[in-house]
Amino acid sequence: MLVVAASTAAFPYFLKPAFDFIFQNHNKIDLIFFGICIFASFTVKGVASYGESFIMTYIGQKIVFDIQERLFKHLVTADLSFFNNHHSGDLLSRFSNDVSLMRNAVSTAISGLGKELVTFVFLVGLMMYRDAILALFACILFPSALVPIILLGKKMKKIVTHTQNNLGSFSSYLTQIFQGIRIVKAYNSEEIEVYRIKQKITDLMISIVQSTKIRASLHPISECIAGVAIISVLIYGGIQVVDGNKTIGDLISFLGALLIAYEPVRRLTQLSANVQEGLVAASRIFDIIDTKPSIRNFPNPVRISGPINFIRFENVSFQYDSLRTILDGISFEVKRGQTIAFVGKSGSGKSTLLNLIPRFHDVTSGGILIDGIDIKELDLIDVRQQIALVTQENILFDASFHDNIAYGNKEASEADVIAAAKSALADDFIRKSEHGYHTLIGENGIRISGGQRQRIAIARAMLKNAPILLLDEATSSLDADSEKSVQTALDTLMQNRTTIIVAHRLFSVTNVDVIYVIEEGTIKESGTHSQLLASNGIYSSLWRAQNGFQSIPSETFCYC
C-alpha cells in the first residue's frame, strides 16, 4: 500500500519539472528521462498493486474462512433447543449471504479503505509541499464529503439489517416449500405459494432499492464537493500564477495531485456502504457464534471406562420454557441388558424423555444417573459414544449407502459395513442398486423406500456397536411388509444391548421387560404387557383402542 501510494504521488510530483524546465527549455533528452520516470512509477505502482491486492485478498479470505469455519463448528455443537428456535433458512442465509457480505467488506472494502487512505495521505503531503494554503483549503473541503457518509451510515445500517432479515425469511420460506412440495401439490396450493413468495420478493426488492438509493446519493454529494474544490484551486492558483507568485508547474503539479486525490475520496464514499453491509453481516454472524451452548462438559468430567450397569431417572422434570412442563417427576431404572418401553398418547413426553439420555436437553430438576454418577458430570462425548439412536424419521445424507452406514463408525472397513448391512437385511437391495454400496441415495434417502431407509439407519446403529440402544417409534410409519423386515433387523440389533423404546404401536412392545405408561408427563402405570392388561387401566384402554381385543394374537411382531 505504501509503495502504491508513493508511486501514485510520483506522477503529479514530476509534472512541475516537466512544465517549468523541460517544456520551457525544449530539452528533448530531459523529456525522454521524464517519460522513463513516469513509466517507472506506473510499473512500480502496477507491481505493488498486484502484491497488495493478492496479499489483502488472501488475508481477507482467510479471515472469512476462519469465521465461516467457526460458525459451522458452533452450529454443529449447538444445543437442539437452539435449532428449535432458529429457522434453518435463516441459518443458511447467515452462512451464505452474510458471510458473502463479510467477504466483500473484508477483502474489498477494508483493504480498499487502507489503500485509499494511505494514497490520500501521500497526495495531501505533496499538495502541502507545493502550496500549504491551497492544501489546507482542499483538506477542509474533501473531509466534508465524509459528513453525509456519517449521517447516512445509521440509516444505511438499518436498511441493510432489514434486508438481511428479509433474506433470511425468504430462505426459510423457500426451504419450507421445497421440503413440503408434496403437500403444496396435493392441496393445489401452487398459486397461493406463488403469491406469497411474490410478496416476500417484493419486500426484499424494496429493501434493496432503498439501500441502492442511499448508496447512489453519496455520488452526487462527493461530485459537488470535488467540483467546488477544483474550481477554487483553479481560481486561486490561477491568480497566483498570473501575479507571478507561482509557476505554471506548481499549479499543474498541485492540480494533478488534487485530481488524483479525488479518486480515493470518491472510492471511500462508495466503500462506506460495503463496510456497513459487512458490519451488519458480522453482527448477525457473531450473534450466533457468541451464543454459548448450555449443554457442555463440566470441568474435569468423569470418563466412562467400563460397561454401563444401569441407567436411573430420579424424579426427573423437564420444561422447554417456564410455561410448558413436559415431564414431571419421572423415576425408573433400566439395568444392563434389559429392554423397557414407554407408551402413551402423542404429546405425553415420551420422545422428550428419550432425548434426555444423550443430553440433547438437560433436565430442569432431578437427575439422570449412569452407574450412580449424574450424567452431567460424565464426559459428553463418552456418553454419546455409548448410545445408538434409531428414530421414526432417520436422517440420511446425500451420499452412498456405504458412507451412510459407515457414519456410525468412521474407522469401519468395507467388510464391517457389509456385515452391518447384512445384519440389518439391507445387503440385498443395496447390491441390486446401480452401483451397489457406492450408489448415491439422494437428499435424506429420497431415492429409496421408507423401509429401506430404516434398515440403513439400523445398519448404521449396528456398526456403531453401542451398548445402549434408543428406539424412537422406529416402525410406526411403515407398512406391514416393511415393518416385518425392519422388525427382524431390530431384533438382531437389540441382542445383548440395554434398550429403551418409545412406541406408538403396542404390538411392538408386548415382550419387553417393563412397559411404562406416560400421560401428561408422568408415569401412570408400569408392568409387563400381561400385568397391564389385567389391571384394566390406561394401557388396557390403549390396547383395546388399537386392536379391539385384549388377548395377545398368535402372530405378533415384537422386540425380543
Quickly list DSSP for 63-129: HHHHHHHHHHHHHHTS-HHHHHTS-HHHHHHIIIIIHHHHHHIIIIIIHHHHHHHHHHHHHHHHHHH
Q: Is residue 113 part of a domain?
A: yes
Instruction: Extract the C-alpha cell encoding 424.
Output: 440389518
Contacts for 188 with CB less than 8 Å, ≥ 6 apart: none
> Which residue, 289, 318, 344, sits at the end of a domain?
289
User: Are the CB atoms for 277 and 157 separated by under 8 Å?
Assistant: no
The CATH code of the domain that includes 534 is 3.40.50.300
Instruction: Return the DSSP state at 231.
Output: H
Higher-scoring residue by pLDDT: 161, 432: 432
**Are residues 109 and 184 located together in one domain of the fold?**
yes
The CATH code of the domain that includes 268 is 1.20.1560.10
For the whole prediction, is pTM greater than 0.85? no
**Are residues 259 and 402 located together in one domain of the fold?**
no
**Are residues 484 and 537 located together in one domain of the fold?**
yes
CA distance 149 to 276: 10
Q: Tell me the H-state helices in 447-507.
A: 450-464, 480-494
- Which tens digits make up the pLDDT trace of 142-193? 666 566 666 666 677 777 777 877 877 787 788 778 777 877 877 788 888 8
Q: Does pLDDT of 557 surpass 60? A: no
Which pLDDT does position 331 carry in this prediction?
Answer: 94
List the one residue out of 64, 69, 154 whose CA is nearest residue 104. Answer: 64
The vertex-93 CA angle with 90 and 98, nearest 5°, equals: 125
**Are residues 231 and 336 located together in one domain of the fold?**
no
pLDDT band at 218 (very low <50, low <70, confident <90, very high): low
Q: Is residue 297 part of a domain?
A: no
Instruction: Return the DSSP state at 241.
Output: H
**Are residues 257 and 335 located together in one domain of the fold?**
no
**Are residues 139 and 50 located together in one domain of the fold?**
yes
> Which residue, 257, 289, 321, sits at the end of a domain?
289
Q: Tell me the H-state helices in 180-247.
A: 181-186, 190-242
Q: Is residue 559 part of a domain?
A: no
Domain hosting residue 518, numbered range: 310-547
Q: Is residue 302 part of a domain?
A: no
Neighbours of 530 (CB within 10 A): 11
CA distance 528 to 539: 10
Domain count within the chain: 2
- Of the given ranges (15-29, 393-407, 544-558), which has the lowest mean pLDDT? 544-558
Helix (H), strand (E), coil (C) string for 8-50 = HHHHHHHHHHHHHHHHHHCCHHHHHHHHHHHHHHHHHHHHHHH
Q: Does pLDDT of 269 surpass 70? A: no
Higher-scoring residue by pLDDT: 243, 297: 297
Q: Is residue 389 part of a domain?
A: yes
> Which residue, 228, 258, 289, sits at the end of a domain?
289
**Are residues 261 and 317 located together in one domain of the fold?**
no
CA distance 192 to 540: 46
Q: Is residue 299 part of a domain?
A: no
**Are residues 82 and 227 located together in one domain of the fold?**
yes
**Are residues 463 and 528 located together in one domain of the fold?**
yes
Q: Is residue 303 part of a domain?
A: no
Q: What is the mean pLDDT of residues 181-209?
A: 83
CA distance 454 to 469: 15
Q: Is residue 455 part of a domain?
A: yes
**Are residues 210 and 325 located together in one domain of the fold?**
no
Task: For residue 136, give the amino acid letter.
Answer: L
The residue whose grid cell reads 441415495 is: 441
**Are residues 335 and 454 located together in one domain of the fold?**
yes
Neighbours of 217 (CB within 10 A): 12
**Are residues 14 and 108 located together in one domain of the fold?**
yes
User: Are the CB atoms for 8 and 122 separated by under 8 Å?
Assistant: yes
